[in-house]
Amino acid sequence: MSATSVEHTVTLHGHALSYADSGSGPVLLFIHGLLGSQRQWAHLVDRLDDDHRLVVPDLFGHGQSAKPVGDYSLGAHAATLRDLLDRLGIEQVTLVGHSLGGGIAMVFSYLFPERVDKLVLVASGGLGREVSPLLRSATLPGAEYVLPVIASGWMRDRIASAGRALGSVGLRPGRDLTEVWDGFTSLGDADTRRAFLATTRAVIDPGGQSVNAHDYLPEAAPIPTLVVWGTKDRMIPAWHAASATASIQSCRVELFQGAGHFPHLDDPERFAALVREFVGEAA
């Protein structure tokens, strides 16, 4: 993380959860995506923590947090984040969730609406069935036996030397490829691999995303929401951003032209400015 942030570890449900905490002011809770970590938000700390408090955890099963055997559903992750806020004495936050983290943020806002001031969804899961074949393949029978082979050091070296292999499954060159590759290399660890499969199978089946926020969001308490998407996202299609407006009241959509699945990394200055503006608006 940034030199201005402080990394901590807290024990929740008997397991260590790693998080960074910096700044003061209105609280922003950042939630990374599948195979991500707090590292993917580090570049925003210096841009936002001068007048905001940033809490940036590694979800269980990711980064430096524990990878226990257990429940990796969206609701379980949301409950863990609620417990983290309780431990920190934080009553209300703006949630900023990317990909899987967006799905967790929506479930959190549905379960604990009194804890959420605003919601920022970045290339969010849970807004449609479509998702990359790369992720669908992890839900197929036998994936637990195939992953150790393709995530082995020998195979990673071969794939790295032929980077076109990842491009062939629909990943956008550049930032998307870098971030997904970093996540993929972590699958060489057996505990991370088990947690990845449990998390993926909680939200995706061979046909696509299996959790649909449109089933419950129309009945949820209205929360001001900013949806950010890259127009060249090949993991989750950008048109899901438009579908969000059908179920989320007070929803604003911002598209990043030419950006992929990580618009907050492709154009961090614009993203930070949008978040700052959105958080500062009257509800």
Between helix 190-203 and helix 100-111 the angle, nearest 10°, is: 60
Report the SS3 class of residue 148: helix
pLDDT at residue 228, rounded to an integer: 98
CA neighbor of 226 nearest in space, from 244, 252, 248, 246? 252
161 neighbors 265 (Cβ within 8 angstroms): no
Per-residue confidence at 3, pLDDT binned at 50, 70, 90?
very low
pLDDT category at 2 given cuts 50, 70, 90 is: very low
Retrieve residue 241's tokens: 């951003």
- Residue 156: is its pLDDT beyond 70? no
Q: In this predicted model, what pLDDT tens digit does every residue of 90-111 receive, in sequence order? A: 999 999 999 999 999 999 999 9
Residue 268: pLDDT band by 50, 70, 90 thresholds? Answer: very high
- Phi, psi for 36 (deg, rounded to 5): -95, -170
The residue type at 100: L
Catalytic residues: 99, 233, 261
**Does the pLDDT value for residue 19 go beyond 70?**
yes
pTM for the full model? 0.90
CATH architecture, domain defined by 6-130+210-280: 3-Layer(aba) Sandwich (3.40)
Instruction: Kindly state the average pLDDT of the residues 5-34.
Output: 94
46: which 2 tokens?
């210096």
Least confident of 2-6, 32-36, 106-110, 181-185: 2-6
Query: Which two three-digit tokens encode residue 234?
Result: 């090949």
pLDDT tens for 208-264 read: 999 998 888 777 778 999 999 999 999 999 999 988 888 887 899 999 999 999 999
CA distances from 75 to 38, 72, 110 (A): 20, 8, 10
Supply the pLDDT for residue 283: 61
Is the model's pLDDT at 162 over the cut of 80?
Answer: no
**Least confident interval from 12-21, 49-58, 74-83, 131-140:** 131-140
Cα 273 versus chain centre, distance: 20
What's the confidence (pLDDT) of residue 187?
81
Average pLDDT over the chain, rounded to whole? 87
What value does the mean pLDDT take over residues 10-20? Answer: 96
3-state class percentages of the chain: helix first, strand second, coil last, to nearest 5: 45, 20, 35
Task: Evaluate whether 180 touches 265 at the Cβ level (below 8 Å).
Answer: no
Helices within the chain (DSSP H only): 42-48, 74-88, 100-111, 133-136, 143-150, 153-160, 164-167, 175-185, 190-203, 240-247, 263-266, 268-280
Q: How many CB atoms lie within 10 A of CB 282?
A: 4
Backbone phi, psi, residue 31, to 5°: -125, 115
Q: What gap in Å lies between CA 21 and CA 8, rounded to an integer? A: 8
The residues spanned by each domain of the chain are: 6-130+210-280
Band of pLDDT at residue 139, cut at 50, 70 and 90 = confident
